[in-house]
Amino acid sequence: MKFLKSTLYIFLPLLLLNSCRDYVEVEQVGNNRILKYTSDYRAIANNYNDVTASGGIYLIANDDVEFPTTYQNGVTTIWGNSYTWQERIYDPSQGDSDWTGLYKAVYYSNVLLDGVMGSEKGTEAEKKEIYAEAFVHRAFAYLQLVNTYGPQFDPASSNSEKAVPLLLKPELFSSLERNTVGQVYDQIISDLKSALDNGIQDDPQFNVLPSKRAVYALLARTYLLMGQYDLSLENAEKALQMQNGLIDFKSLATAYSYPVLIQNPEVIFSKTLLLTYNGAPLSTELLNSFGTDDLRYNYYTAPGTNFYPTYTGRGFGINTYSYTNGVNVGVSVPEMYLIAAECYARSGKITEAVNYLNILRAKRFKSGTTYTVSATTNKEALDLVLAERRKEFIGRGFRWFDQRRLNLDPAYKKTYTRVFKGQTYTLEPNSGGYVFPINQNYIDLSPELGK
């Protein structure tokens, strides 16, 4: 049995909840409050900073990012190691903030699932709402974890490769033996279906809270990563039936008019990357793929002089133009259109695929310009979808997950090379470079993580 200090650093903060109740109503354990009332659990569920953890180290590794030569000497060792797909990302003195943040979200979710239904001074409806939300937060965290620290799910294999530990109880002592890729995906789907079974709310007040449409959208993303396109399409369509609004970029006076996160009609469920990943330089190839009439170039990217260290080129711009947004990697309406379009293209329904692409593109181009695309073959339609994903999700790290899954397709797998500080690095399809290593510090504390 191993103490979870290698994974979780959060137990005491969890118990330190602020309260306006009379002192006599507060039960004490030492100097800490214990969780007793439903409102205590709601406070945890609404603590956005703790449950929104989404990682982001993979953003530096994907081919959307390109470090200019003059920029390379100013980056941290963590960024340099990720950029060159190293077997070790962190120095012995460093912790992995992606790993700890995501498992922190898992732990909070487990606390909610374990205790909220037995809490006091709350209605059954209030308790069940919190209970259902916790399944969604845990599912999202594990989807990030398995796609960062585990091999790509392969629909043609047993997916028996080791990935990450499944921790389903808020225990201080537990084995950290890693579960398989298949087991983690089974748990993700189980959690999302449990949220539906427990009446997850249809229309929360803010998009930072889980909802039924968020569950459908996360199922669509999960099944896409699993290569189960029929199920992915089914859930993407369900999400779009509940929310399908798009921002018409032509209506924005400037990029600074982009809506704040909680008022963004495109966001179904908000999750943001760590701020440390904001400002990574975008590749010249990707930037050049935008036509002059595509408004996303100016709205999704910003000059490198806006970031530190500064550089020639452009970086992801949303957090610059609308500071509350960060790098949002939660599910969104554009993602559902593009998932549905891809699934239609893969099933031979070219017209439907192109129609969904053009619905999105109509909101992204200058007035009076040609935005429509067309295709005559499945491959042409799929190529259009994948190109659109890169432009719509620029600077968010989604490209890394696409690279991983596309490696399974001979038509799309590719070898990548980079030159960093004068040395050339290569990333082969399906190689170990696509799996981020677990921090050696954590393996030293819990050796079963290394097995």
Q: Structural domains in the chain?
A: 2-250+329-450 (1.25.40.390)
Work out the average pLDDT over 343-365. 98
How much is the mean pLDDT over the chain? 91
Work out the average pLDDT over 270-286. 91
Give me the pLDDT at residue 5, please.
42
Tell me: pLDDT of 347 over 70. Answer: yes
Tell me: pLDDT of 221 over 60. Answer: yes
For residue 332, the cross-strand partners are 267
Give 218's contacts (C-beta < 8 A, 6+ positions apart): 136, 139, 140, 143, 192, 269, 331
Q: Closest Cα to residue 339, out of 240, 409, 265?
A: 240
Q: Closest Cα to residue 425, out of 58, 59, 66, 64?
A: 66
Question: 85 is written with which tokens?
Answer: 């797909």
Q: pLDDT by residue (tens digit) across 290-323?
A: 999 999 999 999 999 999 889 999 999 988 888 7
Q: Count CA atoms closer than 13 A to 17's CA, side-chain side.
A: 24
Rounded to whole angstroms, the Cα distance separating 43 from 115 reads 13
Q: Is there a contact between 59 and 397 (Cβ–Cβ < 8 Å)?
A: yes
Rounded to whole angstroms, the Cα distance separating 109 from 363 reads 37
pLDDT confidence band for 50 (50 / 70 / 90): confident
pLDDT confidence band for 278 (50 / 70 / 90): confident
Rounded to whole angstroms, the Cα distance separating 8 from 105 reads 10
Q: Closest Cα to residue 223, out of 250, 257, 186?
A: 186
Rounded to whole angstroms, the Cα distance separating 123 from 131 reads 12
Question: 167 is written with which tokens?
Answer: 């921790």
- Residue 175's alpha-carbon distances to 35, 90, 172, 222, 448, in angstroms, are 25, 23, 10, 26, 8
Sign of the dihedral through C-alpha 13, 18, 19, 22: positive
How deeply is 422 buried, as exposed, middle or buried, from its count of CB atoms within 10 A (0-12, 13-18, 19+)?
exposed
Percent of the chain with pLDDT over 70: 93
Work out the average pLDDT over 111-115. 96
For residue 32, the cross-strand partners are 29
pLDDT confidence band for 16 (50 / 70 / 90): very low
Task: Extract long-range pairs of 354-360: CB within 8 Å, 24+ residues apart.
Answer: 354/381, 354/384, 357/384, 357/385, 357/388, 359/246, 360/246, 360/334, 360/388, 360/392
pLDDT confidence band for 25 (50 / 70 / 90): very low
Q: pLDDT by residue (tens digit) across 247-262?
A: 999 999 999 999 998 8
Q: Is the peptide bond before 92 cis (omega within 30 degrees of 0)?
A: no
Work out the average pLDDT over 131-135. 98
Pick left, alpha or beta for residue 273 (phi over 0 → left; psi -120 to 50 → alpha; otherwise beta). Answer: beta
Q: What is the pTM (predicted TM-score) of this model?
A: 0.93
In the chain, DSSP finds a helix count (H) and a strand count (E) of 19, 8
- Residue 391's alpha-carbon distances to 272, 302, 366, in angstroms, are 19, 14, 16
Q: Report the residue count for the chain.
A: 451
Cα of first residue to Cα of last residue in the chain, in angstroms, is 15
Which position has the higher pLDDT, 53 or 32? 53
Percent of the chain with pLDDT over 90: 83
Q: Is there a contact between 103 and 141 (Cβ–Cβ < 8 Å)?
A: yes
Question: 108 is written with which tokens?
Answer: 């909070």
